[in-house]
Each structure stands twice: as structure tokens, then as C-alpha cells.
Amino acid sequence: MEENELYRKWMRLVENLEREGIIKSEKVKRAFLRVPRYKFVPERYKEYAHVDEPLPIPAGQTISAPHMVAIMFELAELEEGMNVLEVGTGSGWNAALIYELVKRDVYTIERIPELVEFARRNLERAGYKNKVHVILGDGTKGFPPKAPYDRIIVTAGAPKIPEPLIEQLKVGGKMLIPVGSYHLWQELLEVIKISEDNKIKIKNHGGVAFVPLVGEYGWRE
């Protein structure tokens, strides 16, 4: 399928998400239009990138459905200049969208070497090479060198909220994280840090389905 045809289908999906009230803000819509998902999926799935469901990427992982990413980004209320950590790079698509919303270096951590390489290739091709920094490591431990963060966005389901991620949030900062069972059923939590001693306030945004967050403060492999 030609690129202009892929983009036409992508635009139609973005318009549908806006019509359904899933994309609410102009800035999230603009980011989605600047970073089409087909640039971040394996070649054989490009023609399905406009379909609003998860798609396979290497290492048995998935790239999230567009509506899920839009919901998380609307809740995240990302602003220009914010320091953001993403846990679970996957394809690199989310991190590129985050860059378009914050317009500063984005840090994203991924435990699977094959996906680190996949994401770096995608990001370089899409023009984000020196804007999004993909780190190989255990995302449940966060990334202390660039903490504290205004926002932490976790793209895999945890058994509980990892303590290091709370520690690395700024007071008043916000984390979005799916928490629940090991496979494909969690609740999307909005976690707001309200004091230096790691007190938090939690809002529950209902049922979601993500791959498991594996790591020292997550699920064991």
C-alpha cells in the first residue's frame, strides 16, 4: 500500500477517535497526525495500522490500539517542557507521540534487547533519533539519572504500583499505569504524588488489557 494511502486511512481513524470523544484535545490530535502508527509496525502489518486494535511487534509483544494510547495521553495532560519517562518502549510509537506533546528529550526504558533495536530503528527513520532516548533496562526501577519526572507513563500491566516509580515522580506529578492480573486484565490507574514522603492519590479509570510488566518490582518472568 502506498504511503499516501496509508496516511489517508490513518487520518480517517484519527477523525473517528475525535468524533467518538476519545481524542479530546487539539494537541493530542496534532501529535497523532504527525506520528502515524504505520511507521512503527513491522512491514507486514503496515496496512492494518489504521485498524483500532493492538498489533504484533517482535518478541511476542504488541503495539497498543490507538484508542488506548489516546485515552492515556488525554489523562496524562502532557505540556511542553515536561520531563517524561515511559516504561515499556515497545515499538517506539508512544515515545514519539510524547515528544510531539512535550517538545523535549523523552526517556523510555525497555527490558527486551530486540525491542530496543526495533524501537531505535523506527525512531531514527521517523526523525526522532536525538529526541527520544531508548534505554535497555528494568523499567520497574525507573531511570534515576533523569528523575524527578513530571509524568511517568507505563505501557504494561503491573501487579502493584512499583515503589521506585513513585519515588521518581515530582510532587504534583502524575503516573498512568495499568495494575491487575498477570495477563490481559488490569485497571488503568492515575497516580498523583501528593508529598515528598511518597503519599499518593489514585483515580481508577476502569478496565484495560496490557501485556505484563516484568521486572524486580513487577511480575517475575
Annotated catalytic residues are: 64
Residues 6+ apart with CB under 8 A from 14: 23, 29, 32, 33, 66
- Three-class DSSP labels, 91-143: CCHHHHHHHHHHCCCEEEEECCHHHHHHHHHHHHHHCCCCCEEEEECCHHHCC
Taking only Cα atoms into account, the Rg of the chain, rounded to an integer number of angstroms, comes to 16
